[in-house]
């Protein structure tokens, strides 16, 4: 009877969250969560049922920016667009009188040559501890800030079982790696996701090896009709959820990520909390949120913004989480298109350069992370991956008794330690990781 007082969205939420999940916390019921959900939402404009895919496709068809990007890809190809982006960034830096990234860093970081980070105006990695896999570009959303340009149209770029198996072999052969970081697209919608998670967790248990498995989650995927058991699967395998929520306000989130995304994100967070994620009672179920700016400016202090997120999400919805990670928008792909269209590329590059922080260099994610694409190609970071900047190394052929330089893939190495001898590929987009408090997939670096 009481449910009649609630909106359709609230009733759906109360229904969709398994009440059994609250057996360890009898004070928190599905109905109480529905009340929290209703507190800021109207009773008429929410629909949590069904997939976001059809809505996203409709948006892409009517969005002139997406259509223009599609026409440019058809005209000059993705590689041609990447070259255009690079030229625009370089032109902006030339107008500002700024040298290339490594020359700039070498001049500013003369003391960092001692630990091996910088040698002969090149950047080198430390021991890799994070294996990050982009297992596919298919996604139920098409966010305006997405640096991998994921969408429901990216069905072909998906990791095969052979590549996934080779990645697990690399994990096994790399003793210092303590984190398996799964990203996309929406990685959960790739058929290799559960295969990778299940075998990696089983392997870590059997070998008594500490392993953090990260799912970089867009939250709305948890409400997709074919993913109703996803939260249970993540909990069973103690997967850390790192979830994108660019603001705690509805308008900003929907502007970046699509109409209705905020509503679904809140519902997904409540579902995760119901399973124990982000709560003091279950420290093994970590839930981190990710903030990225909505425009051409740097993120605020990670610590300060985290307090605001925790205060507002608890006050409005009773939502709990562990940490907030702040990530700077990189001047590549969709965000680069936005900057160029607004005539703000030069201003943004100037902002990044003027806020260069020498303390970020030692913590750059390319120094301890190896990024693998859906096709098995190996990169220094996820951003280089989207720009096609593959790691280049020497390959020895015993058949013809010669050594040649070529782009590396998971077929060419046995362990991530094999990559330590190769310098990190850098370019002018790297200023995005060294500005302010620094930026990485793990949040601020300084």
Whether residue 17 is predicted with pLDDT greater than 60 in this model: the reply is no
Check: CB of residue 322 under 8 Å from CB of residue 287.
Answer: yes
Kindly provide the b/e burial profile for residues 198-209, where b requires at least 16 CB atoms within 10 angstroms of the residue's own CB.
Answer: eebbeebeeeee
**Total count of domains within the chain:** 1
Q: Which domain holds residue 357?
A: 53-388+417-433
Answer yes or no: is 111 within a domain: yes
CA distance 56 to 151: 8
Positive or negative torsion for Cα 371, 377, 378, 383: negative
Q: What is the predicted pLDDT for the residue at 82?
A: 74
pTM: 0.86
Answer yes or no: is 43 within a domain: no
**Chain segment 179-215, per-residue pLDDT in tens:** 999 998 889 999 999 999 999 999 999 999 999 999 9
Answer yes or no: is 262 within a domain: yes
Answer yes or no: is 3 within a domain: no
Mean of the per-residue pLDDT values of the chain: 84
**Chain segment 241-257, per-residue pLDDT in tens:** 999 998 888 888 888 77
Q: What is the predicted pLDDT for the residue at 41?
A: 45
Answer yes or no: is 24 within a domain: no
At 344, which helix (H) or strand (E)? none
Answer yes or no: is 144 within a domain: yes
User: Tokens 């929290």, residue?
Assistant: 36
Answer yes or no: is 83 within a domain: yes
Look up the CATH number of the domain holding residue 271.
Answer: 3.20.20
Answer yes or no: is 237 within a domain: yes
Whether residue 341 is predicted with pLDDT greater than 80 in this model: the reply is yes
């Amino acid at each position: 009877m009481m449910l009649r007082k609630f909106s359709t969205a609230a009733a759906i939420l109360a229904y969709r969250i398994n009440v059994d999940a609250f057996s360890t916390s009898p004070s928190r019921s599905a109905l109480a969560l529905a009340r929290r959900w209703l507190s800021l939402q109207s009773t008429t404009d929410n629909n949590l049922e069904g997939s976001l895919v059809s809505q996203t496709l409709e948006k892409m068809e009517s969005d002139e920016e997406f259509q223009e990007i599609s026409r440019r890809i058809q005209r000059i190809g993705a590689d041609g667009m990447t070259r255009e982006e690079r030229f625009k960034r370089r032109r902006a830096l030339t107008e500002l009188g700024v040298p290339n990234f490594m020359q700039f860093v070498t001049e500013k970081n003369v003391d960092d040559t001692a630990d091996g980070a910088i040698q002969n105006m090149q950047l080198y990695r430390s021991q890799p501890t994070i294996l990050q896999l982009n297992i596919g570009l298919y996604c139920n959303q098409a966010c305006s800030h997405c640096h991998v340009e994921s969408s429901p149209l990216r069905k072909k770029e998906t990791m095969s079982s052979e590549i996934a198996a080779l990645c697990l072999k690399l994990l096994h052969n790399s003793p210092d790696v303590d984190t398996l970081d799964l990203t996309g697209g929406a990685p959960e919608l790739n058929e290799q996701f559960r295969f990778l998670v299940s075998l990696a967790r089983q392997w870590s248990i059997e070998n008594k090896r500490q392993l953090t498995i990260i799912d970089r989650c867009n939250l709305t995927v948890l409400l997709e009709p074919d993913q109703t058991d996803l939260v249970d699967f993540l909990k069973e395998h103690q997967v850390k959820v790192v979830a994108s929520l660019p603001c705690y306000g509805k308008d900003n989130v929907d502007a970046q990520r699509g109409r209705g995304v905020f509503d679904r994100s809140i519902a997904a967070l409540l579902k995760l909390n119901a399973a124990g994620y982000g709560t003091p009672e279950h420290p093994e179920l970590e839930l981190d949120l990710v903030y990225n700016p909505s425009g051409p400016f740097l993120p605020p202090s990670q610590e300060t913004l985290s307090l605001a997120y925790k205060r507002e999400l608890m006050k409005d919805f009773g939502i709990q989480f562990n940490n907030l990670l702040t990530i700077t928008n990189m001047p590549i792909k969709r965000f680069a298109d936005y900057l160029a269209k607004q005539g703000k590329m030069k201003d943004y590059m100037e902002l990044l350069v003027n806020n260069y922080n020498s303390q970020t260099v030692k913590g750059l994610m390319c120094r301890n992370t190896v990024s693998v694409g859906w096709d098995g190609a190996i990169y220094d970071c996820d951003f280089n991956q989207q720009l096609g900047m593959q790691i280049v190394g020497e390959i020895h052929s015993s058949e013809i008794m010669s050594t040649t330089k070529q782009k590396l893939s998971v077929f060419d190495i046995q362990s991530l330690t094999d990559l330590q001898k190769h310098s990190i590929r850098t370019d002018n987009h790297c200023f995005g990781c060294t500005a302010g408090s620094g930026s990485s997939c793990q949040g601020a670096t300084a």
